[in-house]
Chain A
Amino acid sequence: DVVMTQSPLSLPVTLGQPASTSCRSSQSLIHSDGNTYLNWFQQRPGQSPRRLIYKVSKRDSGVPDRFSGSGSGTNFTLRISRVEAEDIGIYYCMQGTHWPPITFGQGTRLEI
């Protein structure tokens, strides 16, 4: 199984300042079709998860452009250019390249 390791697990942030979280996979997430199936999800307190980023860096519709994803192979990063209050929550990376099973990272808790 592919193990997804996120760091840090807790990320204190300051509103208006940038923030980033890292996700590392135990093997390359490059699929034989050339795509890298690495997603980022946001889960606000009391809400269901919401996908923000797919295929490493493609932003979902309605996601503010302050969110960006980058990386390749086994190392990936989610960046927020300027943190807003509504960004507070837990961020999960997920790989869909080598499945089953689909695997998630442990989550990074963004907190003020």
Chain B
Amino acid sequence: EVQLLESGGGLVRPGGSLRLSCATSGFTFTTTAMNWVRQAPGKGLQWVSGITNSGGKTYYADSVKGRFIISRDNSKNMLYLQMDSLRAEDTGVYYCARESWVPWGQGTLVTVSS
């Protein structure tokens, strides 16, 4: 069974940093591109970042470019999102997702507030 388990969310002040993790199992992680998608409270879905299976290429939404870094550890089947210079508008539930978009994890809540 494919499982994605996000963690690392929490309350952080504007300008602060957080590192999200996504523990994966049940599929061949090393051959799978991955994504992060977020959802602000009461709002729709927004793609944040993607990474190729090798980690050799990364992609970002304009709204997070230069502040967020996506990475992966293929030896541990883990996906990460380092979030720096956080803003109030980064608040939301962050989901990791496979390139197939099946399934989604339960998400981890990031709240940026003073």
Do B44 and A48 touch across chains, with their CB atoms under 8 A apart? no
Report if A49-B104 is in contact (Cβ < 8 Å); known contacts: A101-B61, A102-B35, A107-B44: yes
Report if A104-B45 is in contact (Cβ < 8 Å); known contacts: A48-B104, A49-B104, A50-B103: yes
**A106 interfacial by beta-carbon distance below 8 Å:** yes
B62 proximity list for chain A (CB < 8 A): 101
Do B50 and A102 touch across chains, with their CB atoms under 8 A apart? yes
Q: Among A51, A92, A104, point to the contact of B102 (Cβ < 8 A).
A: A51
Interface set, chain A 75-112, CB cutoff 8 A to B: 90, 92, 94, 99-107
Query: CA–CA, A93 to B60, complex, Å?
Result: 20
Do B59 and A100 touch across chains, with their CB atoms under 8 A apart? yes
Query: CA–CA, A102 to B44, complex, Å?
Result: 13
**B107 interfacial by beta-carbon distance below 8 Å:** yes
Do B101 and A39 touch across chains, with their CB atoms under 8 A apart? yes
**B105 interfacial by beta-carbon distance below 8 Å:** yes
Interface residue tally of chain B, by bracket?
Answer: 10 to 19
**A41 interfacial by beta-carbon distance below 8 Å:** yes
Report if A51-B107 is in contact (Cβ < 8 Å); known contacts: A92-B45, A101-B47, A102-B35: no
Nearest 10 interchain pairs by C-beta: A100-B59, A102-B47, A48-B104, A104-B45, A107-B44, A51-B101, A51-B102, A101-B61, A106-B44, A49-B104
**9 pairs across A/B with beta carbons < 8 Å?**
A39-B101, A50-B103, A50-B104, A51-B102, A60-B102, A100-B47, A101-B59, A102-B50, A104-B44
Residue positions of B touching A, CB distance < 8 A: 35, 44-47, 50, 59-62, 95, 101-107
Residue positions of A touching B, CB distance < 8 A: 39, 41, 43, 48-51, 54, 60, 90, 92, 94, 99-107
**Sample of 20 further A-B pairs with CB below 8 A, known A102-B35, A107-B44:** A48-B95, A48-B103, A48-B105, A49-B45, A49-B95, A50-B103, A51-B101, A51-B102, A54-B101, A60-B102, A99-B50, A100-B60, A100-B61, A102-B47, A103-B47, A104-B46, A104-B47, A105-B44, A106-B44, A107-B45
